[in-house]
């Protein structure tokens, strides 16, 4: 019976132990969402884990939902992440990048006035915090079916950029009430097109995104995070 301290073969990537760092948003990127030295130090400090999964990382400007969350859609972000992955590898670690789209969970005030987007005209419940204090979530702009292939493409592009930035793999953030999870759950998705209704349709965006990411890299290097939360 293996213990938590025994190695694990993650489809060709050898993890020296079975302790994983969960993805955790730290909001330590620059104001332009570029990885910083503080982030590099944070991951280097934890590099003895079998595998680290980064904080959620925006795949586009549209995906932007948290102040000072890092991105993976511009060259300066790739360069910033390269400084992180190089330092982690020098310290003997392994690191996956969690790729993310906030969907409806954001606010126009941190998006240059743009409404966040979502599967249906239903606001998220709960609190959103701006520098000026607590606000309600807005009703999102409903995504047209014709816009969805473009969103899938941003995940494929971010996967290629993550590879260029020196990551060992990527994880699709399909959990915790963000875009793919908003489509998956019937509490946030009341569409009547190919992306709403039965679970086969509600899962379509998640599955298409995962497929595009595996084509952009390889199935061995792509994970998907799911969660049993209720939107
Ligand atoms: C401050 C904070 C930030 C988090 N950020 C992310 C994130 O970026 N992506 C993600 O998938 N989960 C995120 N999570 C969820 C954690 O990965 C984890 O699932 C959660 O803390 C529950 O784990 P626990 O039961 O071991 O505490 C975050 C949690 C916390 C507390």
pLDDT score of 212 more than 70: yes
CA distance 106 to 124: 9
CA distance 94 to 44: 10
Cβ burial, residue 151 (10 Å; 0-12/13-18/19+)? buried
Q: How confident is the model at residue 229 (pLDDT cuts 50, 70, 90)?
A: confident
The predicted model gives 188-194 an average pLDDT of 98
CA distance 133 to 199: 37
The two tokens of residue 69 are: 């969350």
Cα 123 to middle of ligand 1, angstroms: 22
Choosing from 21, 22, 57, 64 the residue with most ligand 1 atoms within 8 A of its CB, the one to mutate for a pocket test is 22
Q: How confident is the model at residue 230 (pLDDT cuts 50, 70, 90)?
A: low
Give the containing element (helix H, strand E) for 185: none
CA distance 161 to 97: 10
CA distance 184 to 222: 19
Map out the domains of the chain as residue ranges.
16-225
Q: pLDDT (tens digit, 9 = 90+) per residue, 150-179?
A: 999 999 999 999 999 999 999 999 999 999
The pLDDT assigned to 228 comes to 84
> How many Cα atoms sit within 13 Å of 124 on the Cβ side?
28
Ligand 1 neighbourhood includes 229 CB (under 6 angstroms) = no
Of all protein residues, whose CA lies closest to atom 31 belonging to ligand 1? 24
Higher pLDDT among residues 230 and 32, named by residue: 32
Please list the active-site residues.
178
Q: pLDDT (tens digit, 9 = 90+) per residue, 10-57?
A: 999 999 999 999 999 999 999 999 999 999 999 999 999 999 999 999
Fold (CATH) for 16-225? TIM Barrel (3.20.20)
């Amino acid at each position: 019976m293996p213990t938590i301290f025994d190695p694990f073969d993650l489809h060709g990537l050898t993890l020296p132990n079975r302790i994983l760092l969960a993805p955790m948003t730290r909001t330590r990127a620059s104001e332009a969402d570029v990885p910083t030295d503080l982030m590099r130090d944070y991951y280097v400090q934890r590099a003895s884990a079998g595998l680290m999964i980064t904080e959620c990382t925006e795949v586009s400007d549209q995906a932007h939902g948290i102040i000072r969350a890092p991105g993976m859609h511009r060259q300066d972000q790739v360069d910033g992440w390269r400084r992180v992955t190089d330092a982690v590898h020098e310290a003997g670690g392994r690191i996956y990048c969690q790729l993310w789209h906030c969907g409806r969970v954001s606010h126009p005030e941190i998006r240059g006035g743009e409404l966040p987007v979502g599967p249906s005209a239903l606001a998220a419940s709960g609190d959103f915090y701006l520098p000026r204090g607590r606000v309600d979530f807005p009703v999102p702009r409903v995504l047209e079916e014709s816009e969805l292939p473009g969103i899938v493409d941003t995940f494929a592009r971010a996967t290629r950029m993550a590879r260029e930035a020196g990551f060992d793999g990527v994880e699709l953030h399909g959990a915790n009430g963000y875009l793919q999870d908003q489509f998956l759950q019937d509490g946030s998705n009341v569409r009547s097109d190919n992306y709403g209704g039965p679970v086969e349709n509600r899962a379509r965006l998640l599955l298409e995104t995962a497929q595009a990411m595996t084509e952009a890299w390889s199935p061995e290097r792509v994970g998907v995070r799911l969660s049993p939360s209720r939107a």
